[in-house]
Structure 1
Amino acid sequence: MTVFTRVLGALLLLWLSAAIGAAAAEDLPERFAGEARIESQPSLPIHLELRRVGAAVEGSISMPIGSFEMTAIQEGHTITGRYEGPGGAGDMSLIIDGDTLTGTFGLGEAHGTISAQRTDLDAQRFFEPPEANLDLTTAQWLEDLDQLAEILSQKHGSPFHRISRPRFESEVAHVRAAIPQLDGTGIASEFVKLGALIGDGHTEVALPDDQARLPVELFWFEDGLRVIGIAADHQELLGARLIAVDAVAVEEVIDRLRPFIAAGETEWFVRAALPGLLRNPAILAAAGIVDGPSVALTLEVADGDRTQIEMTAKSEAGALAILNGAAPLWRRNETQGLWTEVLADGAVYVNWRSYAGLADAAAALLASLDAQHPPRLIVDLRDNTGGDYNAGRAFVEAIASRPWLNQRGTLYVLIGRATFSAAMTNAVDFMTMTNAILAGEPAGAAPNNWQEARRFNLPNSGLRVGVSTLHYEFLPGQAEVRPGLHVWPEPGDWGAPLDASVKLILSRP
């Protein structure tokens, strides 16, 4: 081999290495994390993942309000293009200068800005909350309290729309004084009360998911709180009515738990939230209802006799025995965001539980409806706690655009105590944009209130805090979204093919 051949071979290897390196660099995504702000609204966390293919740039943009796909062209340091997703679409312009990304974007008639730094984290890890830790020192809890007070009073769009600043500061001072005497679960429970004090359901302090719960589930019926789920060794108590917790009468229990629930929503929101609090001994202790790890429930059974059982909370309670053997219609198929069932008379029942994949699911449903022309369509929002109301509104508009379907007596919408946030908004859309008849209970969410929560985590405990940032007036002058046909849930709804609301609709001419 000559010297020339060896040199040429070395140059070729260098060129190939550089080419392979450049191709690999093009395949590796660039990630940036920071904040986005739309005009005067509070900022939101944002994560961008960009992938270059020559001058073209593709990628994804993730925010708490949703994810968007991006296509763009890069010229020098500037990237210009469009983004599109369930929450909307628009133009955007980005500039990358070293490890810093800045940019602007349009969303409808609004304009926003982006400021971010290069990161190694993907979107899932960036938005993943830290693991909660309630085993802290007094100093750490006091630091978290200061942070919580700052978040609630400075990040909320209008923190003192229901309570005064002096009242809020007084409650913070009360918690500060109590911290040295409380354990971690007790302090976290006091934080829950501070969040509820602001008054809207989107503003909250969430307790860790792994907290121990009592192996019992209750539902607030017209005649009181009744057992709908319980440990198998007590299943003879299914359907029993709650009379007292320890020595505290149920009426007093309800009053003591109200401070842990946002008061600015509807009374139906309270009915939805309170049974969950009754399963949590930490909340019961913070409310002064129980004192110790075991809880005594006094229950009234079908023949009027009363019995008392002792229960201890468990981190993993296991599956509970269910009243009449099965959940009611609106709670079935919990993992499905939108599912349908054709009823005996040909009516189509649609359980609209979530907004995940709604556009595709709604398109398929509408195509099926157009082919079938069923005599009735029943859209059930009773187990829908919210999502992107714009995506939901597109679904409502599609229904409204079909004259054969958008008729009074043909179109029904079911709402209830768990109908919250975007689901409430879309229930109002059905009221105002279609000829639908609403049935069930009033929605849990108040129609004119604060929404669009921004999320934070406290620095030491990792507790998740949500604060509302925008005020909406979806139904001016009305305190709640009321159905035209008010139907209470009944114990007999559990285990039955149809519940009382659907039966009423099917009985109408």
Structure 2
Amino acid sequence: MEPTETIGCEKTEMGEDLAFLKSKIEEVHFDPYRNVDEQTFSQSLNRVGFVEKRYREIAIQESIALLGDAHTTVCNFRFGELFPVRYQEIGGYFYIIGAPDIGDHVVGREVRGINGHSIEDIVKKVKSLSSKEGPEVLLRDLAWYLQSNMILRYYGFSDGKEVSLDTDNGQIPLKVSQKLANNLQRLDPLKWIPTDVDDDETYFGNPLYQFRIFGNTLFFKYNDCTNSGYSKEYLEKFKDRLLEEARICQTLVVDLRSNDGGSTEVMWDLFERLPDDRKIYVAIGRRTFSSAMHHLLYLKNSKGATLIGENAGQKPNRFGDSYHFTLPNSKIRMKSSFKYFELLPGQDIEVVEPDIRIPLTIEDYVNGTDPLEKWIKEMR
């Protein structure tokens, strides 16, 4: 593709970087101007040259977000000056689900503002950084952005290394701490802990892929589309064991709620070999992303599976697969998608919704309860 718009500050090192970035995106991306016209994209990049150096990655991300592609982004732009806290949007509200100590009294609180600014006002600004590829992508991104002091400073919601959170139970002072932020304990009601499985003779697997049997239901958690750290022989043993149990059980539940992608090849043959005469449910949620989208749609369309849980994390027709590159002067790391996946040809669907909605609440996070397990046990 021949670029027709130039970068106005291209005589500077940053200008050279931005011209390189635009050229590389046009070279690599499957369809860079599907969601934004070239002139608007170029004008946005032009503004980056006038931004303070420490905020350049964030400013570039604002431009990249215009492409509307969750697989094309500035790498690690949101990791500057992190607060030791994690958020989750649930039902229109943002809650604290991670802290240095999981027993900390801050966990479970609703965050209503930061430094006197309402969450609504903050969201209006920081959402400019998200590709907004779909509604769930935006909500996932917002929870990430609120953790970054650099992002809050860029938009004028912080002026130092400390902020005050306005919560439903008073104010919470927060200080930037990269060390603590990198070692957070996070509430995760979807994760099986040792006490759940140690005495369960039906359990088999590892943190990446695992299953248990509840009555006549095989519950298969597929958490990551990878086999990293495990041998091919172990993977094949797992598949054989699962298929053996699947032929005995009446119902199969494939849980993709924690699966944000990887390689579809790891479990593709397993899904193809699942028995056709069993009732199959596929659990989905906001973290169901990328390769996991391929699996859920295959199981629904080819195996007649019923979708349960919450909205999936990505559009079915979307860009994907990433090419990484580095800007020559600033050394800012980037990635661009280079493929387009049309999993539902001719359908412009923003979000894949479950057939049966089983939502997670903040109480589930705090109490460590998975409503899907309760649903399975009640179904028996």
Deviation at 1:221, TM superposition (A): 0.9
Match of 2:171 among 308, 312, 318: 308
CA contact (8 A) 1:222 1:488 kept: no
Aligned residues: 352
- Counterparts in 2 of 1:332 and 1:268: CA distance versus 1, 3 Å: farther
After superposition, where does 1:375-394 map in structure 2 within 5 Å? 375-394=250-269
Match of 2:225 among 355, 374, 377: 355
Deviation at 1:499, TM superposition (A): 0.6
Distance 1:355 1:231 in 2: 28
Residue 167 of structure 1 corresponds to which residue in structure 2?
A: 40
With structure 1 as the length reference, what TM-score do the two structures score?
0.64
Match of 2:64 among 195, 216, 224: 195
CA contact (8 A) 1:330 1:380 kept: no
Match of 2:73 among 175, 184, 204: 204
Q: Which deviations, in whole Å up to 9, do the C-alpha atoms of 1:63-99 show, x marking residues without a partner?
A: xxxxxxxxxxxxxxxxxxxxxxxxxxxxxxxxxxxxx
Distance 2:212 2:140 in 1: 26
Distance 1:209 1:501 in 2: 32
The residue type equivalent to 2:35 in the other structure is: R
Distance 1:437 1:364 in 2: 27
Q: Does 1:262 align with 2:140?
A: no
Distance 1:233 1:157 in 2: 43
- Counterparts in 2 of 1:271 and 1:458: CA distance versus 1, 3 Å: same
Deviation at 1:427, TM superposition (A): 0.8
Residue 201 of structure 2 corresponds to which residue in structure 1?
A: none
After superposition, where does 1:38-117 map in structure 2 within 5 Å? none
Distance 2:377 2:162 in 1: 46
- Counterparts in 2 of 1:379 and 1:165: CA distance versus 1, 3 Å: same
Q: Does 1:145 align with 2:145?
A: no
With structure 2 as the length reference, what TM-score do the two structures score?
0.84
Q: Does 1:444 align with 2:313?
A: yes
CA contact (8 A) 1:256 1:287 kept: yes
Residue 338 of structure 2 corresponds to which residue in structure 1?
A: 469
Residue 211 of structure 2 corresponds to which residue in structure 1?
A: 340
Q: Which deviations, in whole Å up to 9, do the C-alpha atoms of 1:323-348 show, x marking residues without a partner?
A: 5xxx3124869x832122334x3533
Gaps of 5+ in 1: 1-137, 302-306
Deviation at 1:154, TM superposition (A): 3.2
Gaps of 5+ in 2: 1-10, 195-205
Structure 1 SS opposite 2:104? helix
Match of 2:140 among 247, 250, 272: 272
Residue 49 of structure 1 corresponds to which residue in structure 2?
A: none
CA contact (8 A) 2:311 2:352 kept: yes
- Counterparts in 2 of 1:162 and 1:331: CA distance versus 1, 3 Å: farther
Deviation at 1:207, TM superposition (A): 2.0
Residue 369 of structure 1 corresponds to which residue in structure 2?
A: 242
Q: Does 1:434 align with 2:303?
A: yes
Deviation at 1:507, TM superposition (A): 2.1
The residue type equivalent to 2:357 in the other structure is: H
Distance 1:374 1:498 in 2: 24
Residue 164 of structure 2 corresponds to which residue in structure 1?
A: 296
Between Structure 1 and Structure 2, the one with more strand by share is 1
CA contact (8 A) 1:266 1:479 kept: yes
Deviation at 1:474, TM superposition (A): 0.5
CA contact (8 A) 2:58 2:78 kept: no
Q: Which deviations, in whole Å up to 9, do the C-alpha atoms of 1:364-410 show, x marking residues without a partner?
A: 334223443234322111111112224443222111xx234xx23xx
Residue 213 of structure 1 corresponds to which residue in structure 2?
A: 82
Residue 424 of structure 1 corresponds to which residue in structure 2?
A: 293
Structure 1 SS opposite 2:351? coil
Q: Which deviations, in whole Å up to 9, do the C-alpha atoms of 1:271-312 show, x marking residues without a partner?
A: 2222111111111222332222222210113xxxxx122212
CA contact (8 A) 1:329 1:493 kept: no
Q: Which has the larger radius of gyration?
A: 1
Q: Which deviations, in whole Å up to 9, do the C-alpha atoms of 1:444-479 show, x marking residues without a partner?
A: 111112112211122233332111222221123133
Match of 2:283 among 414, 437, 445: 414
**Identity of paired residues, percent?**
23
